[in-house]
A and B are shown apart, each in its own frame.
Chain A
Amino acid sequence: MAEEDLSEMAKDVELHLKLDPPLSANNKPSRSFKTSSSSSPPPCDTSHVLENVLENVLKFLESRRDRNAVSLVCRSWYRVEAQTRSEVFIGNCYSLSPARLARRFTRVRSLFLKGKPRFADFNLMPPDWGARFAPWVAVTAKAYPWLEKVTLKRMFVTDDDLALLAASFPGFKELVLLCCEGFGTSGVAVVANKCRQLKVLDLIESEVTDDEVDWISCFPEGETHLESLSFDCVESPINFKALERLVVRSPFLKKLRTNRFVSLEELHRLMVRAPQLTSLGTGSFSSSTENAGQGEQEPDYASAFRACRSLVCLSGFRELAAEYLPAISPVCANLTSINFSYANISPDVFRPIIRNCHNVRVFWALDSICDEGLQAVAATCKELRELRIFPFDPSEDSEGPVSGLGLQAISEGCRKLESILYFCQRMTNVAVTAMSENCPQLTVFRLCIMGRHRPDHVTGKPMDDGFGAIVKNCKKLTRLAVSGLLTDKAFSLIGEYGKLIRTLSVAFAGDSDMGLRYILEGCPKLEKLEIRDSPFGDAGLRSGMHRYNDMRFVWMSSCRLSRGSCSDIARALPSVVVEVFGSDDDDVDVDEDNADYVEILYMYRSLDGPRKDAPKFVTIL
């Protein structure tokens, strides 16, 4: 059908159908579309034809935001969209029940589930809080036999869950576990063995218990479909010979991220057998002690790298022997992504390497490269989009080898920068302001000044002006993390200028409830708010009453909240689940004097009310 015909038909629909807002399945504000013409219901065949047409049109829509918008048009569109959505993203696993998912979407091929809030990564939450994958795998096993892809972030996944997954989905192709825990190498083995169509098995920053199972050997014999295998977070030795054989029989393998138990010699053997790799996690990158001093000739590592003509992404270097780093030189000019963030590399070792990396777009490293190293990055990596600098010594009184100097240099050299995470001991407003002016494409700005309440180390003033400049000048900013000494003024600026901010992280900052108010009244797109150890109390929390239905979650720990006001919120907003708990799981007997004090508040909107799996230490108000 010609495009013009389709649009004509669409117009007919608007005119003749009586359009109602759909059943609310998500918490977007409902809209009603009234038409000025006839409101009689359409004859059956027109709507069937229309739905077919719509189905074919909607197949092209992939973005979930677009699909959410489409589903709001009318009941018919809602239905068709639900039947054609194949990738479902659930940002908070407790925002709806698995049953509801299965009722609405009937043909899901890919599921992305996120569980615990991010602050759980920093031991702020007791273990066993929840976010179990079990109920989801149970329901999807029945509802979506053709499920192909599962991505989980911060979920609790057991070996049984993995076994059920492997047994339930004959066409299963991709498993990605990010920051998950609860399973071990035995669960991984079952997936490797039973998912015969497996293309992707990525275990990333997850805790994998060592069940002493040789899971690599569990992949079936014969050619595999493997395209990506990442196990750099698995802290147990693997059967290298089996890995080598696996690589040899995986002609489609493009991404291989080994763990630190793979030595440089072993890596060499893998590279020689898989020169088609595009992404390589290099394991330990040091020589295994058995070979040292044996008189055997060392493999030509540079030559192996040279042979990998498609290699664009390097990571690993878990126990880097610096003298071998130059071996990567042949591929430097092709690299678009480098992760050195587990390697203690000094500026002298670093500079000759980075000098050739003109195409790098994503760069992660430790602050051991110092301001000098950052200057070298700034001089060469003109295409840099994302930078993450982690602390080698993550404590408040460490030396702090990077500073405003490095930040400013990056801002001057890498004008296309979009995303930055920067840990440092001290910072100046001047440097932060410079970045705001030099890098207008910034969408993510996360600065962690590790010393709490630390002011500008040159002027002694709060960091208000620097962060203010960021929100003023970086007009595309969607994610912001603040630190250092900050007064309420900083928050008033964030509220005034941070109109696109969706995620905000605050720690040890602000003076009073006004700070929180500024944010809640000022940032209309705010979805995720995480705050710790800041003097925000009940008045501040109440000021956001009108926002919480439209936000994914709010986390506030060690602030000045009382149970009373949290209960008030819970009462006033039935679609928001308000969880209150302490940071220890033995907090059931509360101190009488502090019984009203809320140590951790975690609240989130939900379509299905309070969860049934909350542990004893969690109180749902």
Chain B
Amino acid sequence: MENVGVCDEFVNLKATELRLGLPGTEDGGEAEKQKISCGRSNKRALPETEKDIESTGKTETASPPKAQIVGWPPVRSYRKNNIQTKKNESEGQGMYVKVSMDGAPYLRKIDLTVYKQYSELMKSLENMFKFSVGEYFEREGYKGSDFVPTYEDKDGDWMLVGDVPWEMFVSSCKRLRIMKGSEAKGLGCSV
């Protein structure tokens, strides 16, 4: 069965979807040894529908990072930090920022440090909120979608995601907001 190019993690973010395994497919065994990953391709992931059925097999490829969820699994940080041989790994605190989307009645928190570039971040957001962001053009902003990803920086200004180099973005981003509609157009078209 073909891998529809989405990763197990993105499925997990859907609230109600049932996932069916292949007959005889084991989540154990080989899957254990493979990192959960996306089938990488250049095409943008399409917004998921409720009826999507995909394989639970995890493909062995370079894995884009999963969106880290605060406080999950529910292990106290004292325990996490003190398990033998983990002490020397500086796990880092992560940089959690809130993400809201116009019209969505919930917020999410994501750890920016697990991503290495904008495309990874955008994929994760698209799957988290089930939308498509269009393509980014340096001068014109995002085209092809009503949604525009923006962020609030340290100075309190709302900027378009993608305008500044990635590292600068990570260090200055305070929160993310996926704007929709006319407000978005205004920002999306600015240089």
Contacts and interface: CB of A to CB of B under 8 A. Distances in A.
B69 A452 contact: yes
B73 A397 contact: no
Given A396-B36, A453-B11, A453-B12, A426 B74 contact: no
A460 B33 contact: no
B153 to A, nearest CB: 15
Query: For the side of the interface on B, what is the size category?
Result: 35 or more
Nearest to B76: A121
Nearest to A125: B71
A394 B32 contact: no
B27 A426 contact: yes
Contact of A458 (B12, B26, B77): B26
Given A560-B106, A583-B109, A591-B177, A123 B70 contact: yes
A104 B74 CA distance: 38
A397 B28 contact: no
Contact of B71 (A119, A342, A485): A119
B76 A205 contact: yes
Interface string A369-408: 0000000000000000000001110111101100100000
Nearest to B81: A235
Contact of A124 (B27, B28, B70): B70
Interface in A482-524: 485, 487, 507-508, 511
Q: Is the interface of B mostly helix, strand, loop or mixed?
A: loop
Contacts of A460: 18-21, 56
Interface string B39-73: 00000000000000000100000000010011111
Interface string B158-182: 0000000000000000000100000
A458 B66 CA distance: 24
Q: Is the interface of A mostly helix, strand, loop or mixed?
A: loop
A344 B79 CA distance: 13
B100 A594 contact: yes
Contact of B98 (A121, A319, A426, A584): A584
Interface stretch (B82-90, B119-127, B129-137): B82-90
Contacts, number: 141
Given A122-B74, A457-B26, A597 B107 contact: yes
Contacts of A455: 18-19, 21
A418 interface: no
Contacts of B28: 400, 403, 426, 457
B177 A344 contact: no
A599 B108 CA distance: 9
A507 B72 contact: yes
B82 to A, nearest CB: 6
Interface string B1-28: 0000000110111111111110000111
B102 interface: yes
B16 A583 contact: no
A396 B32 CA distance: 11
A551 B66 CA distance: 37
A485 B18 contact: yes
B191 interface: no
Interface string A444-488: 000010111111011111100000000000000000000001010
A498 B87 CA distance: 41
Interface residues of A, number: 65
B78 A233 contact: yes
Contact of B84 (A319, A450, A507, A511): A319
B116 interface: no
A317 B85 CA distance: 12
A192 B85 CA distance: 32
Contacts of A533: 69
B70 A205 contact: no
Closest 6 CB pairs of A and B: A122-B71, A457-B27, A460-B21, A394-B75, A397-B36, A450-B73
Interface of B: 8-9, 11-21, 26-28, 32-33, 35-36, 56, 66, 69-80, 82-85, 98, 100, 102, 105-109, 177
30 contacts: A122-B70, A122-B76, A124-B71, A317-B84, A318-B82, A342-B83, A366-B83, A394-B75, A394-B80, A396-B12, A399-B32, A423-B73, A426-B28, A450-B73, A451-B8, A453-B12, A453-B14, A455-B19, A457-B26, A458-B27, A459-B21, A460-B18, A460-B20, A460-B56, A507-B72, A508-B72, A532-B71, A558-B106, A583-B70, A583-B109
Given A394-B79, A458-B27, A487-B16, 10 more contacts: A317-B84, A395-B73, A396-B66, A397-B9, A448-B74, A454-B27, A460-B19, A535-B16, A591-B100, A597-B106
